[in-house]
Amino acid sequence: MLRRASELLIVLGVALALAACGGGAEPPSPSGGEAESPPAATPAGATISGVIKFTGTAPEAEPILMDAEPICADKYPEGAFTELVIANSNGTLQNVFVYVKEGLPDQEWPVPSEGVLLDQNGCRYHPHVLGIQAGQTLIIRNSDGILHNIHPMPVNNRPFNLGQPVVMDSEKSFPTPEVMIPVECDVHDWMLGYIGVLNHPFFAVSGSDGSFSISGLPAGDYVVEAWHELYGTQTISVSVAEGGTEQIEFTYTGS
Amino acid sequence: MNRLPFAPVLRRSLPAALAGLGLALVLSALHSSKSPASAQPSVDGKSIYLERCAFCHGENGDGNGPVARYLNPRPRNFTLGQFRFRTTASGELPLREDVITIVKQGVRGTAMPRWEGVLSEAEVEAVVDYLTTSFVPFWGTYDPPVIAIPDPPRVTAGMIEEGAIQFQELQCWKCHGEQGRGNGSSALSLTDETDRPIRPADLTKAWRYKGGSDLVSIYTRFSTGMDGTPMPSFYDVIDEEQRWALAAYVRSLQTGEPSGESVLQAAFTSQDLPTDPDDPLWDQADPTSYFLTGQVIVGPRWQTPGVDAVTARALYNSTNLALLIEWDDPFQDTQGGGIDVLPQAGTYVDLETFPQNVGPFADGLAVQMPAMLGEGVAKPYFAWGQPGNPVNLWVWHASDQVQEFIGTGLKTEPAAQANTNVAAGADWTDGRYRLILTRPLSTGDPDDIEVKPGQFIPIAFQAWDGSKGETGTRLSLSSWNNLVLEQPTPIAAYLYAGLAVLGVGAGEWWLYRRVRS
């Protein structure tokens, strides 16, 4: 509780600051930065890439009982399983959110006008873990055509809880950086996803080969953090030269 | 007298034992805080908060006041900034007026008292300003978008029909159940913003609506959603006409509040008594509904009962009496035999330490009558009788057993009678039990009460909801009412009316005393 309270104070500070610069509310349009014409972006910036290694054994994925929703159950002829830990066959880990935590120059990064898609398909979130910029449009799609309620539970942002009873899209955005926001559907208690919100574009999610790549960075000294929903966070400090590429490697250990 | 303002509150809150508990706590706080009624009211929001709200909501507004662990739902944690009763879009802060409104009206069926008439308008505003600016994150940092609610149209049959279609298409039933009894397929897995279990509203019980059972309140709830709960906003997916239709349909699901009529009239039939709840013969018997409250007489006191009302009908013929008893229970629990691990404490059940997975306990219902009836015999104590003045208990459990017991008070386990002369048949469909209990009018068993036409036979009801962890003295109970096997004499009508009035008075007096003590 105490931790919460102090966090909230910080949040309040951030929110006040945001309000002061005119982007406080939560309008459908992206906040602040976008209006400024695309700045000297990053055509030939530096790149940090690498791989999330995984050693040890992952907890066994548990079967999900989807009998109540045949439309979803039918999408998994082999049965559906939880996505808590997805270890790849090449000894790497999927669904790790990797982002630049510290070291970026104090500037505003343009918010892409294109939205990011969060698709509810087969009573699951696709992707399971996604990154988005603060103020960028989150397109929430219901591909199943049965009732989902999209219910993110942020601390630094306002929550929302929208019923989507048919195939449809809704659009929302988060004005304040927050790593990570859990997303749930109360109708289907197994549905769980995570959204990382940053005020810059330097993030990635490890894929089915465990690799990630963050590009377009200015030269600098950075702290890069990796986040996994079960195994938590790790950081690595790394310096990149103008236009250069650095390889880093995180290692998570199962039981 | 600072107790007076509670009279109206008390009457409104009769159904809910937990509201009673809340009031009891408030009352004791009032007693201890010796606030002089005549002195000029303080409008210092902070001191009002500390005096009136903090023992539930916590000094820091974190919902962790000293009594919070006894309450379900828990007092709101204001530091999470999620409000149920708003006129703003999903996830947004409420307006100042929204908070003022809910503080004045209280949250029905919960411990959150109604403060209108207790605090002055200025005091309510002061305390609301204090709690919002001190505890609520984001407060005052932006203008939350409002959902405008136009004047409601006149409800037509066509609207209700259209609303029924909306209820289907929007799939409200996945949480609320086909009939709105809170028993949808997703109902058992729902949690609130603090990760505690929460149940969907039983939309059929007008008296259980937390935010008001009228058309506009219903429209508001599903348009704004109830932040901090699984209840989503559906504002964007239907238009205004469809919203009013849906509200009208939800409203049409509501059944009336038990009226306080205390006499259950058994109608005479010359036919065999029905064993099927759908038998049209039951139409000849007037249904009468009774409120049940949590058992808060002996420890551990149970302030969060599952079943809060039963509806009964009675028929008799020359040899037998049959009762048809109906009550809502969203989940059927037929498996009994769970070991009760709860320590016997003299206090309320501490919900923080109450084990989540006690049981399994079977659902159950008991009908209670005095074991002896006659001139000069006083009515036994309404809760399982007392030593020297026992009651008959017809106890049915969903494991489909019925057994007769002799009760001599809550402190002793009821003793099974040597013979059980009651027969039972039950049915549970879509969140509702229908139980038929049949017994010969006269059994010849010296333990049994004899039921004679024309007599006023005290009758009371008790219920257990297994999945709510109820067993033994963790149950809900009604006060005494009367069963009368109707004889078509005109004088009876007057008697019933008189008795009904008396019955209500007594019931209220009892609760009032409980709340005050």
Chain B residues within 8 A of A138 when measuring between CB atoms: none
- Straight-line distance from the first to the last Cα atom of chain A, in angstroms, rounded to the nearest whole number: 30
Chain B residues within 8 A of A153 when measuring between CB atoms: 193
Please report where in the chains the tokens 């229970």 appear, as a residue: B329
- Three-state DSSP at B436 gives strand
Chain A residues within 8 A of B227 when measuring between CB atoms: 159, 161
Cα(B96)–Cα(B117) distance, integer angstroms: 19
Q: How many CB atoms lie within 10 A of CB B131?
A: 23
The torsion of the CA quartet B300, B304, B309, B310, rounded to 10 degrees, works out to: -50
Distance from CA of A235 to the nearest CA of B (A): 29
Chain A residues at the B interface, defined by Cβ less than 8 Å, are: 1, 4-5, 8, 11-12, 15-16, 18-19, 24-26, 68, 146-147, 149, 151, 153, 158-166, 168, 170, 186-189
- Bridging pattern class, strands B391-397 and B401-407: antiparallel
Residue A38, CA distances (Å) to A133, A138, B413 in order: 15, 20, 79
Chain A residues within 8 A of B60 when measuring between CB atoms: 5
Chain B residues within 8 A of A166 when measuring between CB atoms: 169, 237
Which run of H or E residues covers position B158? helix B157-169
CB contact under 8 A, A187 and B186: yes
Omega cis (within 30) before A180? yes
Q: Is position A227 within any domain?
A: yes
Structure tokens at A158: 């306002």
Q: Are B176 and B267 a contacting pair, CB within 8 Å? A: no
Cα(B436)–Cα(B440) distance, integer angstroms: 13
- The string of DSSP codes covering A91-146 is SBBSS-EEEEEE---S-PPPPPSS-EEEEE-SSSEESSEEEEETTPPEEEEE-S-S
- The string of DSSP codes covering B410-432 is TTSPPEEPS----EEEEEEETTE
pLDDT digits (tens, 9 = 90+) for A25-73: 333 333 333 333 444 444 569 999 999 999 999 999 999 999 889 999 9
Tens-digit pLDDT profile for chain B (517 aa)? 233 222 233 233 333 333 444 444 444 444 444 444 444 545 899 999 999 999 999 999 999 999 999 899 999 999 999 999 999 999 999 999 999 999 999 999 999 999 999 999 999 999 999 999 999 999 999 999 999 999 999 999 999 999 999 999 999 999 999 999 999 999 999 999 999 999 999 999 999 999 999 999 999 999 999 999 999 999 999 999 999 999 999 999 998 778 777 899 999 999 999 999 999 999 999 999 999 999 988 888 888 899 999 999 999 999 999 999 999 999 999 988 887 766 656 678 888 877 766 778 999 999 999 998 877 788 999 999 999 999 999 999 998 789 999 999 999 999 999 999 999 999 999 999 999 999 999 999 999 999 999 999 999 999 999 988 899 999 999 999 999 999 865 555 555 655 555 555 454 444 444 443 3
Please tell me if residue B146 touches chain A, with a CB cutoff of 8 Å.
no
Q: Is position A14 within any domain?
A: no
Distance from CA of A147 to the nearest CA of B (A): 6
Q: Is position A154 within any domain?
A: yes
Omega cis (within 30) before B300? yes
Q: Is position A192 within any domain?
A: yes
Which among A1, A15, A186 is the nearest to B230, CB-wise?
A186
CB contact under 8 A, B62 and A166: no
- Three-state DSSP at B69 gives helix
Chain B residues within 8 A of A24 when measuring between CB atoms: 141-142
Best to test chain B binding among A1, A29, A158, A188 (most B CBs inside 10 Å): A158
φ/ψ (deg, to 5) at A151: -135, 80
CATH of the domain at A195: 2.60.40.420
Residue B486, CA distances (Å) to B154, B244, B265, B316, B369 in order: 41, 44, 6, 9, 17
Residue A127 belongs to what domain range? 49-253
Q: Are A141 and A118 a contacting pair, CB within 8 Å? A: yes
Closest-CA residue in chain A for B63? A1
CB contact under 8 A, A163 and B233: yes
Chain B residues within 8 A of A165 when measuring between CB atoms: 169-171, 234, 237
Which amino acid is located at B367 in the chain?
Answer: V
Q: Which pLDDT band holds residue A177 (cuts at 50, 70, 90)?
A: very high
Q: Is position A59 within any domain?
A: yes
pLDDT digits (tens, 9 = 90+) for A204-230: 999 999 999 999 999 999 999 999 999
A189 burial level (CB within 10 Å; 0-12, 13-18, 19+): middle
Q: Comparing C-alpha atoms, which of B390, B514, B398 is closest to residue B465?
A: B398
Name residues whose C-beta falls within 8 Å of residue B283's C-beta, 6 or more positions apart in sequence.
none
Q: How many CB atoms lie within 10 A of CB A240?
A: 20
Which own/partner pairs from A30-35 qualify as long-range (CB within 8 Å, at least 24 positions apart)?
A30/A111, A30/A113, A30/A135, A30/A136, A30/A137, A30/A173, A31/A111, A31/A134, A31/A135, A31/A173, A31/A175, A32/A108, A32/A111, A32/A135, A33/A108, A33/A109, A33/A110, A33/A111, A33/A135, A34/A110, A34/A111, A34/A113, A34/A135
Residue A201 predicted with pLDDT over 70: yes
pLDDT digits (tens, 9 = 90+) for A71-92: 999 999 999 999 999 999 999 9
What is the model's pLDDT at position B257?
79
CB contact under 8 A, B170 and A5: no
Q: What are the start-end ranges of the E strands in B335-472? A: 364-370, 391-397, 401-407, 415-416, 423-429, 432-440, 456-464
Q: Comparing C-alpha atoms, which of B308, B306, B292, B329 is closest to residue B183?
A: B329
Distance from CA of A216 to the nearest CA of B (A): 34
Closest-CA residue in chain B for A165? B170
Task: Answer left, alpha or beta for residue B81, where phi above 0 means left and psi between -120 and 50 means alpha.
Answer: left
Q: How many CB atoms lie within 10 A of CB B3?
A: 12
Distance from CA of A248 to the nearest CA of B (A): 37
Cα(A218)–Cα(A244) distance, integer angstroms: 9
CB contact under 8 A, A153 and B193: yes
Closest-CA residue in chain A for B135? A5
Q: Is position A161 within any domain?
A: yes
pTM attached to this predicted model:
0.84
**Chain centroid to CA B273: how far?**
31
Q: Is position A9 within any domain?
A: no
Closest-CA residue in chain A for B234? A163
CB contact under 8 A, B138 and A12: yes
Q: Are B338 and B470 a contacting pair, CB within 8 Å? A: no
Chain B residues within 8 A of A186 when measuring between CB atoms: 175, 186, 189-191, 230, 232
Chain A residues within 8 A of B62 when measuring between CB atoms: 1, 4-5
Which among A1, A159, A163 is the nearest to B227, CB-wise?
A159
CB contact under 8 A, A147 and B233: no
Chain B residues within 8 A of A189 when measuring between CB atoms: 186, 189-190
Count of structural domains within chain A: 1
Please tell me if residue B174 touches chain A, with a CB cutoff of 8 Å.
yes
- The string of DSSP codes covering chain A is -HHHHHHHHHHHHHHHHHHHTT--S--SSPPGGGGS---S--TT-EEEEEEEEEES-PPPPPBP--TT-HHHHTT-TT--B--S--B-TTSBBSS-EEEEEE---S-PPPPPSS-EEEEE-SSSEESSEEEEETTPPEEEEE-S-S-EEEEE--SSS----EEE-SSEEEEE---S-EEEEEEE-SSSTT-EEEEEEESSS-EEE--TTSEEEEEEEPSEEEEEEEEETTTEEEEEEEEE-TT-EEEEEEEEE--
Which run of H or E residues covers position B98? helix B96-105
φ/ψ (deg, to 5) at A168: -170, 165
Chain A residues within 8 A of B141 when measuring between CB atoms: 12, 15-16, 18-19, 24
Q: Is position A82 within any domain?
A: yes
Cα(B363)–Cα(B365) distance, integer angstroms: 7
Structure tokens at B509: 């007096």
